[in-house]
């Protein structure tokens, strides 16, 4: 699966703002994020930020929408047609065993943003849409595997819900406590779960 979220030098204003927001989030997190700090990462006039957005949360909601669209268009471009391989690629992407500092900081920022969904309806709507998209994507992979005979006779929606909940739990735990060392163990167990889905008696 593809992992590039941004071009090196985005050629349109919105993409450049989104890249600046990403960099500022990685550097400062949600709590320390300001329009000024986003502007510090933005190669064009800072006044464009105020022209397009009413404030930080307005910009961040657009950023979340942009990121979801980018995942739809680029990240989930599978390198294999085999459902089993796609599931394993997704596990390795969501639970990296050697994530760099930038990705770790971005994961923490996303957990901070998700926490806002507990009290803010706009954030709640976004994360509901985002979770539904990823869960449906996993369910479609499982369903294809069942149809092809590569995966046992399971309920794709139930499997997808289980994996999505595990992924989200891991993101929260790894962002809020010192459990990164367990990534390798969790990844191994998730691969064992896929092994069970494609066990011989399910072929």
5-44 pLDDT, tens digit each: 666 667 788 989 999 999 999 999 999 999 999 999 998 8
pLDDT tens for 82-102 read 899 999 999 998 998 887 888
**Helix spans in 29-55 (H):** 35-41, 47-52
Claim to verify: residue 101 and residue 30 sit in the same structural domain: no
Residue 21, number of CB atoms within 10 A of its CB: 27
Q: How far apart are CA 113 and CA 28, in angstroms?
A: 13
What pLDDT does 193 receive?
A: 95
Residue 196's nearest CA partner among 144, 164, 153 is 153
| The total number of structural domains that make up the chain | 2
- 45 and 116, same domain (yes or no): no
User: 132 and 47 in one domain?
Assistant: no
Q: Domain check: are 43 and 103 in the same one?
A: no
Residue 64, domain member (yes or no): no
Q: What CATH code is carried by the domain that includes residue 86? A: 1.10.357.10
Residue 203 pLDDT grade (very low, low, confident, very high; cuts 50, 70, 90): very low
Report residue 70's pLDDT band, with 50, 70 and 90 as the boundaries.
confident
Same domain, 24 and 83: no
- My answer on whether 15 and 112 are in the same domain is no
Same domain, yes or no, for 94 and 179?
yes
Average pLDDT, integer, range 157-171: 95
| pLDDT value, residue 9 | 67
- Same domain? For 51 and 85 the reply is no
Q: What's the pTM value of the predicted model, to 2 decimals? A: 0.85
Confidence of residue 45 (pLDDT cuts 50, 70, 90): confident
Provide the pLDDT for residue 202: 46
Of 71-80, 97-106, 184-193, the least confident: 71-80
Domain containing residue 180: 78-198
Distance between CA atoms of residues 79 and 85, nearest Å: 9
Specify whether 51 is located in the same domain as 91. no
Q: Does any domain span residue 203?
A: no
For 120, which DSSP code?
-
Residues 130 and 193 in one domain: yes
Residues 116, 192, single domain; the answer is yes
CATH number at residue 14: 1.10.10.60
């Amino acid at each position: 699966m593809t992992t590039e979220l941004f071009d090196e030098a985005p050629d349109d204003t919105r993409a450049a703002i989104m890249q600046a927001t990403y960099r500022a989030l990685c550097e400062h997190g949600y709590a320390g994020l300001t329009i000024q700090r986003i502007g510090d990462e933005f190669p064009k006039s800072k006044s464009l930020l105020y022209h397009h957005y009413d404030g930080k949360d307005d910009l961040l909601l657009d950023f979340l929408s942009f990121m979801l669209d980018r995942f739809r268009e680029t990240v989930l471009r599978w390198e294999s047609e085999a459902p089993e391989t796609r599931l394993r690629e997704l596990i390795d992407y969501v639970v990296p065993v050697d994530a760099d500092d930038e990705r770790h900081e971005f994961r923490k920022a996303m957990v901070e943003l998700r926490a806002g969904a507990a009290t803010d309806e706009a954030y709640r709507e976004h994360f509901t849409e985002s979770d539904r998209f990823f869960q449906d994507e996993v369910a479609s992979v499982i369903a294809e595997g069942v149809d092809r005979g590569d995966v046992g006779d399971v309920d794709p929606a139930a499997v997808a819900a289980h994996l999505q909940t595990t992924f989200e739990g891991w993101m929260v735990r790894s962002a809020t406590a010192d459990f990164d060392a367990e990534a390798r163990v969790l990844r191994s167990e998730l691969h064992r779960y896929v092994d069970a889905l494609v066990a011989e008696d399910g072929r």
